[in-house]
Amino acid sequence: MPDRPVFLDSNIIIYAYSRTDSNKADIARRILASGNVIISVQVINEFVAVTHKKLRH
């Protein structure tokens, strides 16, 4: 992991909860667990919108 914080896209957070691609999920979880990340409000909103839509179907 880089020494500086990294800005995350919503896809990284979505991959962390993926049940279809365990490799991507593991990588995304390691990135999130590093604690060296920046997440914007827009990214959080995109994550909520995508997961809410998926859960409704």
pLDDT tens per residue, range 5-22: 999 999 999 999 888 999
Report the distance separating Cα 33 and Cα 42, nearest Å: 20
Q: The whole model's pTM is what? A: 0.78
- Which pair of tokens denotes residue 39? 């997440």
Report the distance separating Cα 11 and Cα 48, nearest Å: 11
- Looking at residue 1, its pLDDT comes to 56
Report the distance separating Cα 40 and Cα 45, nearest Å: 9
- Looking at residue 54, its pLDDT comes to 76
Q: Please report, for residues 18, 32, 36, 38, 42, the alpha-carbon distance to residue 4 in angstroms, rounded to integers and kept in the order given.
A: 26, 14, 7, 10, 21
- Looking at residue 13, its pLDDT comes to 94
